[in-house]
Amino acid sequence: MTKHILKIRVVLMLMIAGMLTSCGDDFLNPKPTTALEDEDVFTSLTNAKAAMVGAYDQLSSYYFDGLYLPIMSDLTGEDVMLNSTNNYNWFVAVYQLNVLPNYQYASNPWSLGYKIIYDANKIIEGAPKLPDATDEEINQLVAEAKVMRAYVMLKMVEVFAPAYAEDPEAPGILLVTSPMEYGAPDVGRTPVKDIYVQIVSDLLYAEDVLGTDNEPGFFGKRAAQALLARAYLDMQDWENARDKAKLAYEGMELMSVNDMLGGFYRSNSETIFSLAYTPEDNNIYLSIPSFYWPVNGYSSIRANDKFVELYADNDFRSYLFTKVPSIDPDNYLILKFQHNQSVGNAERISIRASEMYLIEAECEAELGNDKNAQDALFAIQKRSIPGVGRPTETGEELINKILLERRKELFGEGFRWNDIKRRNLPLVREGDHWVKLDIQPGSDDYYRLTFPIPQRELDANKALTESDQNKGY
């Protein structure tokens, strides 16, 4: 059954897929109202799978990974920017690095993230009760739910906590690995390192269980390995990050230049995981192509001129930027993310093989294996830059070149914010940015690269006090 048929089924199964809908003030202990009881959900494998599809549907919501997190992750950096006019006031505070605890850009991803974690926990707990499922089918469902939980936890700890490399003992997010029903005791913040321990544990379990032949819209072995590579990269566990990245892309073919320039709106040969969203899911305009594509939507994201200048003249990726005076006489438009036939209909490529090559390159360089790092970097460069020579840099110069290549290859895909944090880099905006910044590591303003814990959580969660808020807020 294809992903799109399953997404239609989720409408029919909405009561099941949304079995844990929260209407209370506490994000962790939702009080069900119209949700079906657990015994109805876990009476059949079909119902349980529909609930899992419901979790995927929430993951693609504009409140989480369908829009908010990927777009904020680039607007927080220096390579893309919000148009100073006609931005409809969307993401202005994010671009200004001025998100406060009561702002929707903090509270919405937090609340929906914990809703998805709650649903994943219910599936992990409930799947073994299925009367019509084999052990293999149960393990498959549990493994998929564990990848879902790890995916969300990794996104949230990167946003709402200091970087692992900065302080693994710092307060992280709320570690919840079982379904907390309404009225259960509240949970406080868990150290960052313990969040990563849980993420890695979930993904290692899934890696052992899941197969590699899944559709890109569902979590399989490759997705678990790719997420392990991301988590280990955050932890600066270079060897494990390299090894998992290589496993994740093994046997995959990198997308062609035609695919690269075609609009990033559908899966291709190197897609490991993607999120599909429709006009019905995302209210037509609340999607990545709506904000990036020059027409048919909000169309308010632009490329910084200094960033565009980083591309060689013969780099095919430079064709993803253009100036059209009749649309915007001053700024570079971005042609990377296109609608699929209708506004708000698209597929967001969330994990792809190119990222894994770049993780491999960074890790090999950090390990002092310059030749292996050069090879992995060259695999990405030679596709996009005709006649490019194999890299010859070594040491720190090579690491810097790899990090620059990450910016050029992955811009707009939701990585820049975390790359700045995990590497403890400066954030300097120059050129045609209308909000210029110079935030250096260790400066008083560096806290702005970590979002605040939402005020609603602090108010509702008895295990938290105002002292549990992130620094600076």
Q: Which CATH number fits domain 3-336+345-468: 3.10.25.10, 1.25.40.390, 3.40.50.10070, 3.30.70.660?
A: 1.25.40.390
pLDDT greater than 80 at residue 24: no
* pLDDT one-digit tens code per residue, 141-150: 999 999 999 9
pLDDT greater than 70 at residue 1: no
The pLDDT value given to residue 18: 42
The pLDDT value given to residue 95: 98
* pLDDT one-digit tens code per residue, 45-91: 999 999 999 999 999 999 999 999 999 999 999 999 999 999 999 99
* pLDDT one-digit tens code per residue, 255-293: 999 999 998 999 999 999 999 888 777 778 999 999 999
**Extents of the domains making up the chain:** 3-336+345-468
The pLDDT value given to residue 22: 37
Q: How confident is the model at residue 33 (pLDDT cuts 50, 70, 90)?
A: very low
pLDDT over 70 for what percent of the chain?
92
- Read off the DSSP letter of residue 191: E
Question: In whole angstroms, what is the distance from residue 187 CA to residue 182 CA?
Answer: 13
Contact, 249 vs 359, CB < 8 A? Answer: no
Coil vs helix vs strand at 323: strand
**pTM for the structure as a whole:** 0.93
Residue 358's nearest CA partner among 339, 335, 381, 330 is 381
* pLDDT one-digit tens code per residue, 107-146: 999 999 999 999 999 999 999 999 999 999 999 999 999 9
The pLDDT value given to residue 14: 36
Strands (E), 252-397: 271-277, 301-303, 321-324, 328-334, 346-352
Q: How confident is the model at residue 20 (pLDDT cuts 50, 70, 90)?
A: very low
pLDDT greater than 90 at residue 175: yes
Question: In whole angstroms, what is the distance from residue 418 CA to residue 162 CA?
Answer: 10
The pLDDT value given to residue 251: 96
